[in-house]
Chains A and B, each alone.
Chain A
Amino acid sequence: MQIRTRNLYLIPYLTWILLFVVAPILLIVYYSFFNVDGQFTLGNYQKFFTPVYLKMTLSSFWYALLITIISLLIAYPTAYWLTKTKHKQLWLLLIILPSWINLLLKAYAFLGIFGTYGPTNKLLESLGIGTQQILFTDFSFLFVSVYIFIPFMILPIYNALEEMNHSLLDAANDLGASQWTTFRRVIFPLTLDGVKSGCQAVFIPALSLFMITRLVAGNRVITLGTAIEQHFLVTQDWGMGATIAVFLIIAMAFIMMLTRKRK
């Protein structure tokens, strides 16, 4: 009786999952077996293993990795500092706030900021360095990506740090550990789950970035996400697009497993 009512509550959720998660994945897998002319083929998968696509995959992973590492390097000290400040809630809000703004809007803002006549170049000029090409470079791509993803890295790390019992730090100190040893042997291992969640929340979406690659990186950076978009919207080769998506999904599942929390 009880179990049955509980199952009733699950219906909306299961319907949602079926319609918007399971069905699309099945559709993607289905499409990946058809070529442009609508004939059944395994050619898409063959094509994926050609150098063009493998290189694209590799570069996708490479950029996602760079974005994750840079985010982590900035986010960890920031989160640590956040736990020590007085007005935690205010700072936290300021960090979260930008993630409420539409992605596209932020990307366009950076077009202005980094543009040839934008404030960054004005500053560089007044410093005597002269106008630089900032937009459409690796730098601008990484910068904007990190800017967008960093709240998702800071939050789980901050939470992990906050959850940590602070007398553990005294205990480590009491047992002879210096600040660095305390960090290495106590703080970092205890916040590892937070770091993993953060990496997950950054790496996976970074793999399939596509808007920023075009707007900010000027298509100089081609990721799997960009490739999927191109296939579906430009070349209309849905089969190939779907095939790439299948590999993207596999990669994501793999990363989820890799960064799974130990319990």
Chain B
Amino acid sequence: MADQTIIRFENVTKQYDQDPAVLNDVSFSIERGRFYTLLGPSGCGKTTILRLIAGFTEPTKGNIYFHEKVMNDVPANKRQVNTVFQDYALFPHLNVFENVAFGLRIKGCKNDEIKRKVLEALRFVNLVGYENREIKEMSGGQRQRVAIARAIVNEPEVILLDEPLSALDLKLRTEMQYELRELQRRLGITFVFVTHDQEEALAMSDEIFVLNEGNIEQSGTPTDIYDEPINRFVADFIGESNIVPGVMKEDYLVQCAGKNFDCVDGGFNRNEQVEIVIRPEDLEITLPDQGKLRMKVDSQLFRGVHYEICGYDQDGNEWLVHSTKKANVGEEIGLYFDPEAIHVMRLGETEEEFDKRLEAYSEATHAD
């Protein structure tokens, strides 16, 4: 698998002037043909990572490898990478055809080859017949597709996309998410996609990097990250969640809200302080005495697909429930959940330690 790696960041730090570092000792690798998403709040360094890959800026410390060759100071125009910019950055003085042809013309391709490739790229993004349009005559979604065509026509190894969907309305955005994912599969090119929208990230990616303040908090498949966030930040940022303090009585048994619950996590010390996560959609409403927990309903919102119910248990922990069943405000209800719904987080654990623990206790389980 090692030869599949195209780009590798090795302890990359980026710092502007005397400001605190924008990226902090970041390491990761990007493999051929996969869809990666950089996910994080505004200002966490997503664009900075893309700019480092594209070559618009150089790392302060650390190395960036392309196919195991250091690329730190190779200029952008010499890299096998193309970018779809957040504002698309289409050339306003050129029409659609010439925008897409820009990279090929610079490479000095022959006219008929340019024509063939540009038309093919436009077909890929469903823009056949728009060749002679001016950019200002195109809609937002069409512009975005021109920008994608302009990138793919050069047949780069990696395409970088900086929040390309953020300017679109919800419907078009969902549509484009499908189109983009589909396009990536057809082309087999690696995509590195930036977004601060967690649903978008979960829907599209093979692998997600969750970023916070210049650090990669966690990386993994959408299900890994959703089901097993390693800390409060990730759990909170990826979807809504109930995060409650607890104590690990022993492996597979956790105490919280004054009760003991079976769970599926292990590798902790006896009586270790932990935090547990339960997703609101994993909580099921039951009659008060049939649930594992009791809570008093405090408020309820109709969200379309489900009701969002908020309440407090006897210990004063707040619980958020997503349910298709309706509850009544002020009423006592029971909450039921499976052992698998509980995810236990060790306080202050890094991703590396998390992976090690996971490995250790799953080995122990298999040994049983």
Q: Contact residues of A with B, CB < 8 Å?
A: 165, 167-168, 170-178, 181, 185-186, 189-190
Closest to B103 in A: A175
Chain B residues touching A, range: 20 to 34
Asked if B42 is an interface residue, CB under 8 A from chain A, the answer is: no
A154: min CB distance to chain B, Å: 22
Contact with A along B44-70 (1 / 0, CB 8 A): 000000000010100000000000000
Q: Given A174-B54, A178-B77, A167 and B102 touching (CB < 8 A)?
A: no
Instruction: With A175-B102, A176-B107 given, name 12 new contacts (CB 8 A).
Output: A168-B89, A170-B76, A171-B83, A174-B56, A174-B81, A175-B150, A176-B77, A176-B78, A176-B103, A177-B102, A185-B102, A185-B106
Complex interface: chain A residues within 8 A of B87 (CB): 165, 167
Asked if B93 is an interface residue, CB under 8 A from chain A, the answer is: yes
A-B CB contact pairs (8 Å), 8 listed: A171-B91, A173-B76, A174-B56, A175-B102, A177-B77, A186-B91, A189-B93, A190-B92
CA separation between A259 and B56, bound complex, in Å?
36
Q: Contact residues of B with A, CB < 8 Å?
A: 54, 56, 75-78, 81-83, 85-87, 89-93, 102-103, 106-107, 150, 154
Q: Which residue of A167, A181, A185, A186 contacts B85 across the interface (Cβ within 8 Å)?
A: A167
Q: Is the CB of A175 within 8 A of B85?
A: no
Closest to B92 in A: A190
**Which 6 pairs across A and B sit closest by C-beta, in order of nearness?**
A175-B103, A171-B89, A167-B89, A173-B76, A176-B106, A189-B93
Q: Is the CB of B83 within 8 A of A170?
A: yes
Q: Is the CB of B154 within 8 A of A171?
A: no
Q: Is the CB of B93 within 8 A of A190?
A: yes
A184: min CB distance to chain B, Å: 11
CA separation between A127 and B76, bound complex, in Å?
47
B82: min CB distance to chain A, Å: 6
Closest to B51 in A: A170
Q: Is the CB of A176 within 8 A of B154?
A: yes
B54: min CB distance to chain A, Å: 6
Closest to B75 in A: A173
